[in-house]
């Protein structure tokens, strides 16, 4: 029992579940995480997975509000929270979807993702980070880049997401570095090799698949060190993403929202074309977005 818990913020993605117990003053008083990602849970297993993580935080005798974002709102999640179509605000607290919970201490609401019809695109989770960023910077106009499994570039103005583009860069890095022929001989990092690969693929993105095999070949033929190999893999994939997003990004200012390592890599890649992005930590933006949904939800009720 924890009487100081005002509400609970939850970031529930494909591979991880993360929660914060929020105090009445709006700051987290506890946090917890587990591997009970949406991709690992069967239908009907969500409430138990959540209670296993946060059950101890719930005061008895009343409902505690839980606001969750991420894949928890997908068709494979706890409750499907239908996408809002851009252009629209990143997060509309009137559209939170109630998830069915049997425990009388729980009231769970899920943030909807965003969709774009043409070109077809979707996001779940990043909209909350964008909302969290805009909570502190309501007048921002420019591009928000969110590196990740499926990295996103969103054009934002007047508190709305106008359009966005997703790239499979992070998932390709994971597949190639963990499950492909390249998986042997990748470890460490080499900034110079990273920058060279970004620049080469940025100007010749068609070279990507040859560059990838070349990492293996140069390991066999010329002893390419594993740090250079890993950095080249990352640089080639990010360089291809920068080439692909160039027309969308134009020359607008860029804010990077990401975990430390990917944000550093993207910032280094952008620096090669003279862009010095502002960097914001992903977890803080998620929490800020969830807090915004909670506070507006409260005002609406």
CB of 180 to a copy of itself, least distance (A): 6
CB of 182 to a copy of itself, least distance (A): 8
Closer residue to a copy of itself (CB): 149 or 253 = 149
CB of 212 to a copy of itself, least distance (A): 4
What residues pair up with 12 in beta bridges, in sequence order? 17
Closer residue to a copy of itself (CB): 122 or 135 = 122
Q: Which residues contact 121 (CB under 8 A, 6 or more apart)?
A: 115, 164, 165, 166
CB of 100 to a copy of itself, least distance (A): 22
CB of 46 to a copy of itself, least distance (A): 20
Write down the residue that tokens 């060190």 correspond to: 225
Closer residue to a copy of itself (CB): 155 or 216 = 216
CB of 48 to a copy of itself, least distance (A): 25
Q: How far apart are CA 52 and CA 48, in angstroms?
A: 6
Closer residue to a copy of itself (CB): 9 or 258 = 258
Q: How far apart are CA 163 and CA 245, in angstroms?
A: 12
Closer residue to a copy of itself (CB): 32 or 243 = 243
For residues 68 and 49, the answer to whether their CB atoms sit within 8 Å is no
Neighbours of 56 (CB within 10 A): 13
HSE on the CB side for 266, CA within 13 Å? 28
Summarize as ranges the residues that interact with a copy of itself (CB under 8 A).
83, 115-117, 119-122, 149-150, 165-169, 171-172, 175-176, 179-181, 204-210, 212-214, 216-218, 220-222, 224, 237, 240-241, 243-246
- Token code pair at residue 251: 């020359």
CB of 214 to a copy of itself, least distance (A): 6
Closer residue to a copy of itself (CB): 94 or 179 = 179
Closer residue to a copy of itself (CB): 269 or 291 = 269
Q: Which residues contact 177 (CB under 8 A, 6 or more apart)?
A: 183, 186, 230, 233
Q: How far apart are CA 43 and CA 121, in angstroms?
A: 25
What residues pair up with 232 in beta bridges, in sequence order? none
Neighbours of 207 (CB within 10 A): 16
């Amino acid at each position: 029992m924890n009487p100081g818990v005002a509400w609970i913020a939850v970031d529930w993605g494909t591979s991880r579940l993360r929660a914060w117990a929020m105090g009445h003053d709006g700051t987290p008083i506890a946090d917890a995480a587990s591997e009970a990602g949406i991709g690992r849970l069967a239908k009907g297993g969500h409430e138990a997975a959540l209670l296993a993580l946060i059950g101890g935080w719930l005061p008895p005798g009343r409902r505690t509000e839980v606001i969750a974002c991420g894949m928890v709102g997908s068709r494979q999640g706890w409750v499907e929270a239908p996408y809002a179509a851009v252009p629209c605000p990143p997060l509309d607290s009137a559209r939170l979807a109630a998830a069915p919970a049997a425990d009388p201490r729980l009231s769970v609401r899920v943030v909807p993702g965003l969709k774009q019809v043409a070109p077809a695109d979707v996001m779940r989770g990043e909209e909350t980070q964008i909302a969290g960023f805009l909570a502190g910077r309501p007048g921002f106009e420019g591009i928000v880049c969110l590196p990740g499994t499926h990295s996103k570039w969103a054009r934002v103005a007047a508190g709305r997401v106008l359009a966005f583009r997703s790239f499979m860069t992070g998932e390709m890095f994971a597949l190639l570095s963990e499950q492909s022929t390249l998986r042997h001989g990748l470890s460490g990092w080499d900034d110079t090799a990273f920058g060279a690969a970004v620049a080469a693929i940025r100007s010749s993105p068609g070279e990507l698949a040859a560059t990838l095999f070349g990492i293996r070949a140069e390991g066999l033929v010329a002893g390419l060190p594993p740090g250079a190999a890993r950095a080249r893999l990352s640089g080639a994939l990010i360089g291809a993403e920068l080439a692909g997003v160039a027309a969308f990004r134009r020359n607008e200012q860029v804010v990077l929202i990401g975990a430390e390592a990917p944000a550093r890599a993207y910032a280094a890649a952008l620096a090669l074309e003279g862009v010095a992005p502002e960097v914001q930590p992903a977890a803080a933006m998620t929490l800020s977005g969830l807090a915004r949904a909670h506070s507006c939800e409260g005002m609406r009720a």
